[in-house]
């Protein structure tokens, strides 16, 4: 597998687009394969960065006399937000198409950059998915080390690769970009955020653990979210006369990166961590399918004040008077045998008035598939295959 190109699920649009994703997820490699004739400018190149940041109009001269509808790739576009004004002009005057690649839209938004007024669509890329790896996908390896391309292509050095990846992120994304003024408190926060992967965010507790102000915790989480290293999973609040949780959960984009953040790369993983890692993988697969299919269904979790929880709720039809919301409810367990007691939260939700649960699904690490009344229980591999075939939602 090492050195072999693995096709991705994303399709290349016919029009200009932004491509965002964490570092090391294969954005540049994908662009080289889907746009092999494109002219590429890498803003990580110091000379290129300095020249274009000083005079963005030089982009046209560098591109030369290219025909209309030619593709031009600008890698790490967030490094020169002002360049987007020139890109906009060239799209209008020269009718060139641009692939604008970066690891964060944070600097673009904060700088009030011209985001091309809808003339470019936005794509997101993460680590490999099970559908991309196919027979090379191994669930135990993915739970322990994640699905970053560098890790998948050299699994024997997973711990070293993840350690280097995490240190590079701190150096390039935090220090170089100046996202925080004081790095040591942020490093403490990262370790705590790694340990809190997949848990509801309690800002006061995390602030106390990290020894920073409560507002600083919000800023730090915003950095992780804006640099696409993590995603909030909002609490689903259908308003069914039941007290529901309002706190979102936070998941790192990759279980291996969460493990690196938590400082656990050299430690054996207990069952609790493995369970959270499995949830992280499933959330990852849901996001990848949502992006590749362009369905963009809202995903959340459900928890009542009594502690009843369902790991994932997918909105397949929003509430519209007089129609109730339609959802798919998914419960995930890191176990080789399915315990039917785990179905109770799903059935309780389906029994409530004012909601239509189209599917109730249990996902576990065993080998058998079951159908208990309306509850489908699937091995993880079966669920992933059904998801990417469009059979879940």
CATH assignment at residue 81: 3.40.50.300
| pLDDT over 90 (residue 109) | no
Average pLDDT over residues 54-77: 96
**Residue 163 falls inside a structural domain:** no
User: Where in the chain does DSSP place strands (E)?
Assistant: 17-20, 39-42, 71-75, 97-102, 121-124, 199-200, 230-233, 249-252, 299-303, 309-317, 326-332, 356-364, 370-372, 375-379
* pLDDT given for residue 241 in this prediction: 56
**Residue 377 falls inside a structural domain:** yes
Letter string b/e over residues 223-247, b meaning 16 or more CB atoms within 10 A of that residue's CB? bbbbbbbbbbbebbebeeeeebbee
User: Do the beta carbons of residue 276 and residue 197 sit within 8 Å?
Assistant: yes
* pLDDT given for residue 28 in this prediction: 95
Distance between CA atoms of residues 216 and 193, nearest Å? 13
Domain count across the chain: 2
Of 70, 102, 124, the last residue of a domain is: 124
Give the residue, 55 or 168, on which the prediction is more confident: 55
| 376: phi then psi, degrees, rounded to nearest 5 | -90, 125
* pLDDT given for residue 176 in this prediction: 64
Q: What is the pLDDT confidence band of residue 26, given thresholds at 50, 70 and 90?
A: very high
Average pLDDT over residues 165-178: 77
| pLDDT over 60 (residue 111) | no
pLDDT digits (tens, 9 = 90+) for 230-253: 999 999 987 655 566 678 999 999
Domain that holds residue 314: 285-388
Of 105, 124, 143, the last residue of a domain is: 124
| pLDDT over 90 (residue 151) | yes
Among the ranges given (13-27, 132-146, 162-176), the one the predictor scored with the smallest mean pLDDT: 162-176
| pLDDT over 60 (residue 65) | yes
Kindly report the pTM of this predicted structure.
Answer: 0.93
Of 124, 151, 169, the last residue of a domain is: 124
**Residue 116 falls inside a structural domain:** yes
Among the ranges given (65-74, 232-241, 366-375), the one the predictor scored with the smallest mean pLDDT: 232-241
**Residue 261 falls inside a structural domain:** no
**Residue 220 falls inside a structural domain:** no
Which residues 6+ apart lie within 8 Å of 71 measured at CB? 35, 37, 38, 39, 96, 97, 98, 99
* pLDDT given for residue 239 in this prediction: 65
Mean of pLDDT over the chain:
92
**Residue 236 falls inside a structural domain:** no
* pLDDT given for residue 152 in this prediction: 96
| pLDDT over 60 (residue 112) | no
**Residue 117 falls inside a structural domain:** yes
| pLDDT over 60 (residue 175) | yes
* pLDDT given for residue 177 in this prediction: 62
Average pLDDT over residues 280-301: 97
Q: Which two tokens stand for residue 322?
A: 């007089």
**Residue 301 falls inside a structural domain:** yes
* pLDDT given for residue 243 in this prediction: 60
């Amino acid at each position: 597998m090492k050195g072999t190109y693995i096709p991705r699920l994303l399709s290349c649009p016919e029009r200009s687009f932004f491509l965002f994703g964490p570092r090391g997820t294969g954005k540049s490699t994908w662009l080289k394969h889907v746009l092999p004739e494109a002219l590429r400018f890498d803003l990580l190149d110091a000379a290129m960065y300095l020249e274009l940041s000083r005079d963005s109009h030089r982009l046209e001269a560098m591109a030369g006399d290219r025909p209309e509808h030619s593709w031009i790739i600008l890698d790490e576009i967030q490094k020169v937000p002002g360049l987007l004004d020139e890109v906009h002009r060239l799209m209008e005057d020269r009718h060139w198409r641009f692939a604008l690649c970066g690891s964060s839209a944070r600097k673009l938004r904060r700088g009030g950059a011209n985001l091309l007024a809808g003339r470019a669509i936005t794509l997101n890329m993460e680590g490999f998915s099970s559908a991309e790896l196919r027979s090379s996908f191994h669930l135990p390896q993915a739970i322990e080390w994640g699905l970053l391309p560098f890790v998948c292509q050299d699994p024997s050095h997973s711990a070293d690769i993840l350690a280097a990846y995490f240190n590079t992120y701190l150096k390039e994304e935090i220090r170089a970009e100046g996202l925080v003024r004081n790095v040591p408190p942020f490093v403490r926060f990262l370790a705590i955020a790694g340990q809190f992967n997949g848990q509801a965010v309690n800002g006061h507790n995390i602030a106390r653990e990290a020894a920073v102000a409560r507002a600083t915790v919000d800023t730090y989480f915003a950095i992780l979210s804006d640099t696409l290293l993590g995603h909030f999973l909002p609490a689903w609040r259908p308003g069914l006369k039941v007290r529901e949780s309002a706190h979102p959960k936070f998941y790192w984009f990759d279980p291996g990166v969460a493990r690196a953040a938590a400082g656990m790369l050299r430690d054996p993983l207990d069952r609790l961590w493995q369970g959270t890692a499995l949830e992280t993988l499933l959330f990852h697969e849901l996001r990848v399918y949502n992006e590749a299919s362009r369905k963009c269904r809202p995903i959340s979790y459900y928890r009542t004040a009594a502690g009843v929880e369902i790991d994932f709720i997918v909105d397949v039809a929003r509430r519209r008077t007089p129609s109730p919301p339609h959802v798919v409810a998914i419960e995930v367990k890191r176990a080789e045998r399915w315990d039917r007691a785990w179905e109770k939260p799903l059935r309780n939700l389906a029994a409530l008035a004012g909601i239509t649960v189209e599917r109730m699904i249990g996902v576990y690490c065993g080998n058998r598939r079951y159908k208990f009344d309306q509850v489908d229980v699937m091995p993880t591999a079966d669920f992933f295959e059904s998801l990417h075939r469009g059979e879940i939602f």
